[in-house]
Amino acid sequence: MTYFMYDITGTPVEEPDADAVRAAVAALGETHRENPDVSLTHESGWSLTAYAGGLLIWENVEDDGLVPGVIEQASTDDVLRLFDRLAAGDTDTVEAEGWRRD
């Protein structure tokens, strides 16, 4: 299964290793950009987007009928753990996280 990431500058990175993911997530706290984000998308269409300040969004970018899930205050460790699970294709574990859906 394949996946890709957009880093803080919006640059796509194909199948980043754990160090590259960690560096991209760390950059969220080191930038002065307005609304900075980092996302990881799996080939299944499932995507996680992390924002500075802890907002984390879980959605299927290929299915507009599904309501995105939100965690308001995700820790850096949570983001890294969930990005790792998504990169491995383990969408069930990510889905079980307890997302708020409005």
Token pair of 69, please?
């899930």
**Residue pLDDT, tens place only, 75-97:** 999 999 999 999 999 999 999 99
Q: Burial of 65 by CB count in 10 Å (0-12 exposed, 13-18 middle, 19+ buried)?
A: exposed
> What are the structural domain ranges in the chain?
3-95
Cα-based angle 59, 43, 5 (whole degrees, multiple of 5)? 75
pLDDT for residue 35: 67
The alpha carbon torsion through 57, 33, 2, 84 (nearest 10 deg) reads -60
Q: What is the pLDDT of residues 7-55, one digit of tens each?
A: 998 999 999 999 999 999 999 988 677 668 999 999 999 999 999 989 9
